[in-house]
C-alpha cells in the first residue's frame, strides 16, 4: 500500500490547493420506487470536494433500508445519510461495500448499528489497507478525521460465488467474481428490478483505475455481465449505464489488452507500446490523463508476467 499511498498523494495534492468547501451534494436519480442512486462527482479527490467521488445506492425494503457504498469519510457518509433521510423514513439496517477502496468504505462509520456486508477478501483488505486510506483522506483534506474508522463486514461471501438472498423483501444476488477492479469485488444483482449494482467493476464516462486490478479476469467478468437481462447498471463512478454501454467498456478493455499483448510479444517497453496504442475512445473519458499512464504500466506488467 505504500506505493498506492504515494501515487494517490501525488495526484491529489496537485488539486488540493483550492480552498476547502462544503462536500458537494450528490445527483439523486430515482431508478424505481425502491432504488435510488446518489451519484458523486466524477473528478479526482481534492480538498475542494473533500474526497467525495463515489456513487452510493439506497434500497428501500419492507421495514428498513440498505445502503451500498458510503464514501471516503464519516463526514461524507453523514452527508449521504441526510439525503437518504429525505428519500425514506425507514431505518438503515444494512451497509454493503462493493470493494475495499476507502472512497467506497470509510463512510461506514456514519451508519452505526448496521450490519455490514462484503466479500471475504474485501473484509481482509479493509483491515490491511484501511489505515493507509485514512492517511490518504487526511492528506487530501490537510486535517485529521478522528471519527473515520475502518469498519469491515460482519457478513461476507467467498470468491467465485453467487449467493441469492431476500433481504428485507428485496431479492438480490451477491456476485463475487474471481477478480476484476480488485481481487475482492462484489456486485449486487437485483433480478426482480433487472438492476446491477456494479461498484467499480463498471464505471461510466470516467477512466477506470487498474491499480489493484487483475486485467484479464476483469475482462472475463465484464463478459459475464452481458449474460444478465439488465435494464439499468449503477456503476461505481459516473452516470447510470445501459447494458450497451457496459458492452462498450468491455470492448475498450479487450482492445487495450490485445494491443498491449501484441507489444509485449514484440519486445516493446510500456512507453513504446503506449505510443502504438489507439487510445481515441479512452481520451474521451474523465481523468484520462491522471489514470491512463498508470493503467498501461499495470496492464503491461501483468501481461508481461503472463507471457514470461
Delimit the domains of the chain by residue range: 2-241
Residue 154 cell numbers, joined? 460482519
Residue 263 cell numbers, joined? 507489444
| pLDDT value of residue 194 | 98
> If you average pLDDT over residues 189-202, what whole number do you get?
98
| pLDDT value of residue 151 | 98
Closest to 180 in 3D by CA, of 229, 208, 216, 155: 216
For β-strands 27-32 and 35-39, DSSP reports them as antiparallel
For β-strands 195-199 and 232-235, DSSP reports them as parallel
Q: Is the pLDDT of residue 297 over 90?
A: yes
Q: Is the pLDDT of residue 19 over 70?
A: no
Residue 142 cell numbers, joined? 490537510
CATH topology for 2-241 is Metallo-beta-lactamase; Chain A (3.60.15)
Q: Which of 15-24, 58-67, 92-101, 129-138 has the lowest mean pLDDT?
A: 15-24
The answer to whether 266 and 230 have CB atoms below 8 angstroms apart is no
- DSSP secondary structure letters along 188-219: EEETTTTEEEEETTS-SSBPPP-TT--HHHHH
Beta bridge partners of 235: 199
What percentage of the chain reaches a pLDDT higher than 90? 92
Tell me the average pLDDT of the chain.
94
Closest to 148 in 3D by CA, of 50, 28, 42: 50
**What are the pLDDT digits (tens) for 151-161?**
999 999 999 99
Q: Is the pLDDT of residue 26 over 70?
A: yes
Radius of gyration over every alpha carbon of the chain, rounded to an integer in angstroms: 19
The answer to whether 76 and 105 have CB atoms below 8 angstroms apart is no
> If you average pLDDT over residues 115-133, what whole number do you get?
98
Query: In angstroms, rounded to a whole number, what is the distance separating the alpha carbons of residues 80 and 179?
Result: 28
Confidence tier at 12 by pLDDT (50, 70, 90): very low
- DSSP secondary structure letters along 227-281: TS--SEEEESSSS-B-HHHHHHHHHHHHHHHHHHHHHHHTT--HHHHHHHS--TT
**What are the pLDDT digits (tens) for 237-295?**
999 999 999 999 999 999 999 999 999 999 999 999 999 999 999 999 999 999 999 99
For residue 86, which phi and psi values (nearest 5 degrees)? Answer: -80, -15
Per the listing, cell 505504500 goes with: 2
Query: In angstroms, rounded to a whole number, what is the distance separating the alpha carbons of residues 32 and 294?
Result: 37
Confidence tier at 307 by pLDDT (50, 70, 90): confident
Q: Which residues fall within 8 angstroms of residue 273, CB to CB, at 6 or more apart?
A: 259, 260, 263, 264, 296, 300
> If you average pLDDT over residues 182-188, what whole number do you get?
98
Query: In angstroms, rounded to a whole number, what is the distance separating the alpha carbons of residues 140 and 197?
Result: 28
Q: Is the pLDDT of residue 301 over 50?
A: yes
Confidence tier at 204 by pLDDT (50, 70, 90): very high
| pLDDT value of residue 237 | 98
Q: Is the pLDDT of residue 7 over 70?
A: no
Q: In angstroms, what CA-CA distances link 25 with 17, 80, 131?
A: 21, 8, 26
Q: Is the pLDDT of residue 110 over 70?
A: yes
Instruction: Tell me the whole-structure pTM to 2 decimals.
Output: 0.93
161 class by beta-carbon count within 10 Å (0-12 exposed, 13-18 middle, 19+ buried): middle
Per the listing, cell 489488452 goes with: 257
> If you average pLDDT over residues 184-207, what whole number do you get?
98
| pLDDT value of residue 308 | 77
**Would the CA dihedral through 248, 250, 256, 262 be positive or negative?**
negative
Q: Is the pLDDT of residue 21 over 80?
A: no
Closest to 20 in 3D by CA, of 74, 57, 75, 65: 75
Specify the 3-state DSSP secondary structure of 143.
coil
CA dihedral 200, 203, 209, 213 (to 10 degrees): 50
Q: Is the pLDDT of residue 15 over 70?
A: no
For residue 28, which phi and psi values (nearest 5 degrees)? Answer: -95, 120
> If you average pLDDT over residues 61-84, what whole number do you get?
98
Amino acid at each position: 500500500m505504500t506505493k498506492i499511498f504515494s501515487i494517490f498523494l501525488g495526484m491529489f495534492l496537485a488539486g488540493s490547493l483550492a480552498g476547502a468547501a462544503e462536500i458537494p451534494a450528490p445527483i439523486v436519480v430515482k431508478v424505481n420506487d425502491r432504488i435510488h442512486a446518489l451519484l458523486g462527482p466524477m473528478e479526482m479527490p481534492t480538498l475542494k470536494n473533500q474526497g467525495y467521488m463515489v456513487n452510493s445506492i439506497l434500497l428501500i425494503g419492507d421495514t428498513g433500508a440498505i445502503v451500498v457504498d458510503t464514501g471516503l469519510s464519516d463526514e461524507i457518509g453523514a452527508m449521504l445519510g441526510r439525503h437518504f433521510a429525505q428519500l425514506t423514513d425507514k431505518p438503515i439496517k444494512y451497509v454493503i461495500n462493493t470493494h475495499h477502496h476507502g472512497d467506497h468504505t470509510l463512510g461506514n462509520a456514519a451508519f452505526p448499528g448496521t450490519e455490514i456486508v462484503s466479500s471475504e477478501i474485501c473484509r481482509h483488505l479493509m483491515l490491511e489497507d484501511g489505515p493507509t486510506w485514512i492517511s490518504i483522506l487526511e492528506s487530501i483534506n490537510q486535517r485529521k478525521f478522528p471519527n473515520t474508522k475502518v469498519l469491515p463486514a460482519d457478513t461476507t461471501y467467498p470468491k467465485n460465488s453467487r449467493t441469492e438472498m431476500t433481504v428485507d423483501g428485496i431479492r438480490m444476488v451477491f456476485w463475487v467474481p474471481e477478480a476484476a477492479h480488485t481481487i475482492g469485488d462484489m456486485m449486487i444483482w437485483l433480478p426482480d428490478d433487472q438492476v446491477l449494482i456494479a461498484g467499480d467493476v463498471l464505471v461510466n464516462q470516467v477512466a477506470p483505475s487498474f491499480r489493484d486490478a487483475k486485467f484479464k479476469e476483469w475482462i472475463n467478468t465484464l463478459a459475464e455481465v452481458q449474460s444478465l437481462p439488465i435494464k439499468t447498471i449503477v456503476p461505481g463512478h459516473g452516470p447510470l449505464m445501459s447494458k450497451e454501454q457496459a458492452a462498450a467498456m468491455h470492448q475498450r478493455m479487450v482492445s487495450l489488452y490485445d494491443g498491449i499483448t501484441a507489444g509485449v510479444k514484440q519486445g516493446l517497453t510500456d512507453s513504446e507500446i503506449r505510443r502504438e496504442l489507439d487510445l481515441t475512445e479512452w481520451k474521451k473519458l474523465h481523468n484520462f490523463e491522471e489514470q491512463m499512464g498508470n493503467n498501461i504500466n499495470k496492464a503491461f506488467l501483468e501481461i508481461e508476467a503472463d507471457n514470461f
